[in-house]
Amino acid sequence: MDTVSDFKKANFESLYKELQPRLYAYSRKFIDDPETARDLVQDAFIKFWEDIDITAIHTSIAAYLRKTVHNLCLLHLRSQQIHQRFENYMAFKLKEAELNFFSPDYGVYTSIFLKDMEDIIKKCVENLPPQSRRIFEMSRTKGMSYAEIADELGISVRTVENHVYRVLAIMKTELHDYLLTLLAAYLVSIN
């Protein structure tokens, strides 16, 4: 039986130089990405170094490290497979949400969704200070430009911009959940 406690830590560097190329080549049989393969071999050596005083090896050190690299490759591949399944599932759910959102069968849900958004916007506008509300309504309802609003109210264009900016920031905060849903539906629709 070859125990690691008999192995001198001073020999670790020479062991690394001797075994790393073979272990790297072995890991590349399973792992396509060279950087990932290199990292997994590095992790095997780190594990060996950390456990050097407590690990008993029943075979050779080379066989022990090869088995460690093998197990790390398997763990990586399983993790990658789970990640890929999750990505596929999320892509499917987004596509399903998009189809449901724009489907005529779900028109009631879309109407409710849009009605909720409209109610939130109306509530935001009603709760605005009078000057901000007036400027926002002139801009959005009447379609007036910032310069036209500034001329009519006798204020600077910059002041009009600041009012509209603050109102939009408030609405963005209030509509946060709805905007994320719309963004997800839009992103799915362009792919």
| Segments forming the whole domain that contains residue 44 | 2-92
Please report whether residue 98 resides in a domain. no
Instruction: Kindly state whether residues 186 and 111 are assigned to the same domain.
Output: yes
Please report whether residue 145 resides in a domain. yes
According to the model, what pLDDT value does residue 103 have?
A: 61
Which of 40, 57, 92 lies at the terminal end of a domain, its last residue? 92
Give Cα separations from 88 to 85, 94, 95, 134, 184 (angstroms). 5, 10, 11, 47, 15
According to the model, what pLDDT value does residue 68 have?
A: 93
Contact 40, 76 (CB under 8 A): yes
According to the model, what pLDDT value does residue 9 have?
A: 63
2-3 and 56-57: which strand pairing? antiparallel
Instruction: Kindly state whether residues 55 and 16 are assigned to the same domain.
Output: yes
Distance between alpha carbon 158 and the CA centroid of its chain, in Å? 37
Which of 61, 92, 123 lies at the terminal end of a domain, its last residue? 92
Over its length of 191 residues, how does the chain's per-residue pLDDT go in tens digits? 455 555 566 678 888 999 999 999 999 999 999 999 999 999 999 988 887 766 666 778 888 899 999 999 999 999 888 878 877 777 776 677 666 666 655 555 566 777 787 888 888 888 999 999 999 889 888 889 999 999 999 999 899 988 988 888 888 888 777 777 766 665 655 55
In the chain, how many domains are there?
2
- The whole-angstrom separation of Cα 90 and Cα 44 is 33
Instruction: Kindly state whether residues 109 and 63 are assigned to the same domain.
Output: no
Please report whether residue 100 resides in a domain. no
Please report whether residue 97 resides in a domain. no
According to the model, what pLDDT value does residue 94 have?
A: 66
According to the model, what pLDDT value does residue 1 have?
A: 41
Taking the alpha carbons at both ends of the chain, their separation in whole angstroms is 59
| Backbone φ/ψ region at 31: left (φ over 0), alpha (ψ -120 to 50), beta | beta
Instruction: Kindly state whether residues 6 and 88 are assigned to the same domain.
Output: yes
Instruction: Kindly state whether residues 152 and 71 are assigned to the same domain.
Output: no
Please report whether residue 79 resides in a domain. yes
Please report whether residue 158 resides in a domain. yes
Instruction: Kindly state whether residues 87 and 112 are assigned to the same domain.
Output: no
| Residue 86: CATH number of its domain | 1.10.1740.10
